[in-house]
Amino acid sequence: MNCYNGAKPTKCISLIDTMEKTLVTPQPRVRLKPRLKRLFDLIQTHAELYDTVWDCCCDHGYLGVKLLRKQVVPRVEFVDCVAHLMTDLRSRLGEFNTQHYGVTCADAGSIALDSSHRHLVVLAGIGGELAASIIGNIIGRYQAQRIDFLLCPNTAQYQLREFLIANNFKLLEESFIKEKRWNYEILHVSYQNPAAQTAISAIGQHWQAKNQDHHAYLAKMAKHYSDQAKNCSSGKAQKVAALYRAQAEQLE
């Protein structure tokens, strides 16, 4: 088919039009749910601190796409280990200039950080132990570089905090968000940042006496660890349960 030899046949023009429209059709605008909306707001508030935001374990990439659309930071990097998700995401990013984003199908622990950029790595919607393992792999390769992380684990919040404390991370801010019946802790933390001085606490310091969701969450965590203690001889789960219980009592 030679469409550009002389006058363009109408059929070819309409085919080209359709192809161009398919390539640049803007993505349907997705309204972020409360958890991702809170992460988006936090990034927007601190946007001037970062050149690149890594939407790691991004799945459909809702958070990163919103950051791109609102031009919150100069560059967004999408990373997920599932190939078809990244192929699909790539095909949906045609409306954006490629200088503002990258899409990588890989283990998030293997990301390559340009030392001339200021990075924020987002890890949300995965377990705390997986998040700790990914962070461990990243900081193991960039031991002298400041890297900030925005973390919102589904589970194992205590284990993640333990890992961060052991690796000398410092707290920038922490908060809590409820989405439907699920509760999430959010941690904005910094690695190798001499200006950040606030220690990370084992169970968090952002609990408010007037917030019933905070009471319910602390009680749930205390119960979770005291149930675990029944099958654990080391006494560690019992100790963690006691920490959550004491914090719950302090709020009363």
Ligand X SMILES: C[S@@+](CC[C@H](N)C(=O)[O-])C[C@H]1O[C@@H](n2cnc3c(N)ncnc32)[C@H](O)[C@@H]1O
CB nearer to ligand X: pick between 110 and 198: 110
Q: Can you list the positions of beta strands (E) in 85-195?
A: 101-105, 119-124, 147-152, 170-179, 182-191
First to last CA, the chain: 77
Closer CB to ligand X, 134 or 237, in the complex: 134
The values of phi and psi at residue 179, to 5°, are -130, 115
d(CA 39, CA 34): 9
Taking the complex as a whole, how short is the minimal distance between the CB of residue 120 and ligand X, in angstroms? Answer: 14
Closer to ligand X by Cβ: residue 139 or 240: 139
Shortest-Cβ-distance residue relative to ligand X? 125
Residues near 221 by Cβ (< 8 Å), separated by ≥ 6? 157, 158, 203, 241, 244
Helix or strand (DSSP H, E) at 39: helix 34-45
- CB closer to ligand X out of 94 and 125: 125
Rounded to a whole number of angstroms, the minimum distance from the CB of residue 163 to ligand X is 15
> Closest approach of Cβ 77 to ligand X, in Å?
12
Which residues contribute to the site for ligand X (CB under 6 A)? 36, 57-59, 79-82, 85, 107-108, 124-126, 130, 134
B/e letters for 165-184, b = 16+ CB within 10 Å, e = fewer, are: eeeebbbbebebbeeeeebb
Least Å distance between CB 81 and ligand X?
4
CB of 108 to ligand X, least distance (A): 4
- Amino acid 60 reads H
| CB 16 to ligand X: min, Å | 35
Beta carbon nearer to ligand X, 101 or 225:
101
Q: What gap in Å lies between CA 193 and CA 200, rounded to an integer?
A: 14
Q: Whose Cβ is closer to ligand X: residue 149's or residue 244's?
A: 149
